[in-house]
Amino acid sequence: MAEETGSWHRMIAAGDLPDGEIFAAKVGDVHVALYNVDGAFFATDNVCTHAFALLSDGWLDGTTVECPLHGAQFDVQTGKALSSPAECDLRTFPTRVNDGQVEVLLGE
Amino acid sequence: MDAERTRAEPPDTPRKGQGLRHVIVGAGLAGHRAAVELRRLDTTAQVTLLGAEPGLPYDRPPLSKEFLLGQIRPEALVLKEAADYAALGIAHHPATQVVEIDRAAQRVTAGDGRHFPYDRLLLATGSRPCGLPAALAEGEAVHLLRSLADAERLGAALTQARHVAVVGGGFIGLEVAAAARMRGCAVTVVEAAPRLLARGMPAALADWVAALHRAEGVELRLGACVEALTGGGAAGAVSLGFAGGALQADLAVVGIGIRPNVELAMTAGLPVQDGILVDEACRTADPLIFAAGEVTCHPVPALGRRLRVESWRTASEQPLTAARAMCGLPARYVELPWLWSDQFGCNIQSIGLPDAGVELVARGDVTTRKWTLVALDEAGRPVGAVAVNNGRDIGMLRQAIRAGQPVPRALLADPAARIPVAHRAEAASG
Ligand SMILES: Cc1cc2nc3c(=O)[nH]c(=O)nc-3n(C[C@H](O)[C@H](O)[C@H](O)COP(=O)(O)OP(=O)(O)OC[C@H]3O[C@@H](n4cnc5c(N)ncnc54)[C@H](O)[C@@H]3O)c2cc1C
Ligand code: FES
């Protein structure tokens, strides 16, 4: 469970991220991936936990994102690593739609 | 530790208070993954992992990449959870070469005479590199690359070497060439075939990779079959003679393919055809003996054939299926061959059989640094693909290949298009 501390960051207009697509943003040092799964928005770290690759360059199938480099899969709702070669889960971040904009809650 | 125990009960009767005895031969990625999965599935089972190599199971892909560049230390290669064997109750015996399977007595014997009785046996013996014919390859300065020990020896030699000869233009040879080049060595790749990646990869990929290596300063000698190689005598000197030329280098790395370690299974009378023959549940012809990883020749239903697959992914995923089957759970491994290679910062992936089609469709421009090539069969069904810096396409194409339906060429050729897939015809494995 992510803690409800930190601040909400505006990412993209909800209408600009189509279903099945991934949006990448960098907020400070944090790489954020924002996913549209059937109209619901989820956010995780954008950097794969295996080596260095951006998941936003990968493939989103339902709630599963697949890393473009060596194929590790993660559940974008929970951040859970679903398949090798990933060994660690991704951090997830709460999202909300505010005024037509998708926002992500990031820690301090 | 005395692993010997006499059997009194028939095979399927768990002994009082103790679970099934699962014995795994081969402590590479496949053996390790099976051991951890067996423990997870059955907390009462006895899990014994026997491996010929010293130390804990480790990851091989970095050996030809980051490790040769000196970017990671050996400890970092140890596979996740291998350090926890004691806590997990997995009995790992390193430096234990199994020399015999006695199927009637249900036990395996190690080189030092120890016996390990089993209720279920898993063969995860992997592969070993092919050497050149003995007469050709002699001496300290001739290297193979499969194990951590090999990589440590090669890494040390590379610190002194100025000129490196790589024999074999397959993935391993090319990765070593890239690493040596990135370390500042002059590198010559000598390949017998008229092009690189001749085994299983389309010519367009070979051409692209050749251009990449040449641009990075690697010299390629194609169509050059090695006829003489000596690396003895003075430290750091090899001479190579090949069709059309000769060269001197400080060391040579031979990467001309691998052979599955099937001898143990063959001697035990198990059917072997290239690899150890298994069904979708990783069963051999003996209902108590299973096999997983690179050593198997297994069915690939989506492609309608059996294959021995040389890839990390198979060694990582197939043992999960084997572990389920060993526990008597429903299990099917139906994945496509899938591998990656990283060279000079570029990522290459192959899925299915990219050279098995009758037609290739490009997604993107194959002269750029990012593209995918899809192989189609006579009916226009995708059977394989290669992607250069374009892993995003792989997941989609995997589904399309497994669905076994023709895909319109115009859709395939549009790099931005998603291929709609009637949800997967095949159930996922495990
Ligand atoms: C340098 C290198 C780089 C690679 N890079 C990539 C890559 O980029 N992408 C990719 O997809 N794949 C790559 N691979 C391939 C991948 O590492 C292998 O597919 C994988 O390691 C196979 O795992 P395995 O457990 O099936 O077999 P192995 O790793 O071969 O393990 C088998 C183990 O069994 C042991 N053994 C054999 N016989 C016996 C016996 N009788 N008794 C006891 N022990 C025994 C062996 O010593 C070995 O430790 C690479 C391989 C190498 C060597
Ligand atoms: S970097 Fe993501 S799977 Fe390797």
Task: Name all domains of chain B by residue range, CATH numbers in brackets.
Answer: 21-128+259-326 (3.50.50.60), 143-256 (3.50.50.60), 345-413 (3.30.390.30)
Band (pLDDT 50/70/90 cuts) for residue B233 is: low
**Taking 70 as the threshold, does the pLDDT of residue A2 lie above it?**
no
Percent of chain A exceeding pLDDT 90 equals 83
Whether A29 maps to a domain, the answer reads: yes
Total domains present in chain A: 1
Band (pLDDT 50/70/90 cuts) for residue A51 is: confident
When CB atoms are compared, the residue of B33, B313, B399 closest to A71 is B313
Q: What is the distance between the alpha carbons of residues B121 and B23, in angstroms, rounded to a whole number?
A: 5
**How does B35-54 read in b/e, with b if 16+ C-beta sit within 10 Å?**
bbbbbebbeebbbbbbbbbe
| Count helices and strands in chain A by DSSP H and E runs | 0, 11
Band (pLDDT 50/70/90 cuts) for residue A4 is: low
Centroid of ligand 2 to alpha carbon of A68 (angstroms)? 7
Band (pLDDT 50/70/90 cuts) for residue B364 is: very high
Q: pTM for the complete prediction?
A: 0.91
Q: What is the mean pLDDT of residues A26-37?
A: 94
Kindly list the residues from chain B whose CB atom is less than 8 angstroms away from the CB atom of residue A81.
none
Q: In this structure, are residues B139 and B234 in contact, taking their beta carbons and an 8 Å threshold?
A: no
Kindly list the residues from chain B whose CB atom is less than 8 angstroms away from the CB atom of residue A67.
391
Residue found by looking up tokens 């890393």 in the block: A67
Whether A106 maps to a domain, the answer reads: no
**Taking 80 as the threshold, does the pLDDT of residue B128 lie above it?**
yes
Cβ–Cβ below 8 Å for A61 and B338: no
**B150-156 — which CB contacts under 8 Å span 24+ positions?**
B150/B63, B151/B63, B151/B64, B151/B67, B151/B68, B152/B74, B154/B68, B154/B251, B154/B253, B155/B67, B155/B68, B155/B70
Q: Looking at the CA of B62, which ligand is closest? A: 1
Among B163, B363, B144, B155, CA closest to B255: B144
**Taking 90 as the threshold, does the pLDDT of residue B11 lie above it?**
no
**How high is the pLDDT of residue B17?**
47
**Taking 60 as the threshold, does the pLDDT of residue A28 lie above it?**
yes
Kindly list the residues from chain A whose CB atom is less than 8 angstroms away from the CB atom of residue B317.
83-84
**Interval B296-312: pLDDT, tens:** 999 999 999 999 999 99
Q: Looking at the CA of B96, which ligand is closest? A: 1
**How high is the pLDDT of residue B13?**
45
**Interval B213-232: pLDDT, tens:** 999 999 999 999 999 888 86
> Looking at residue A30, which CATH number applies to its domain?
2.102.10.10
Q: Is the dihedral of CA A95, A98, A103, A107 positive or negative?
A: negative
**Taking 50 as the threshold, does the pLDDT of residue B8 lie above it?**
no
User: CB-based contact (8 Å) between B317 and chain A?
Assistant: yes
- The SS3 call for residue B107 is strand
When CB atoms are compared, the residue of B316, B394, B399 closest to A84 is B316
Residue A63 domain boundaries: 7-101
User: CB-based contact (8 Å) between A69 and chain B?
Assistant: yes
Pocket-testing residue among A66, A67, A73, A74, ligand 2, by greatest number of atoms within 8 A of Cβ: A67
**Taking 50 as the threshold, does the pLDDT of residue B328 lie above it?**
yes
**Interval B30-62: pLDDT, tens:** 999 999 999 999 999 999 999 999 999 999 999
Whether A77 maps to a domain, the answer reads: yes
Whether A1 maps to a domain, the answer reads: no
Judged by average pLDDT, the poorest of A65-74, B10-19, B167-176, B386-395 is: B10-19
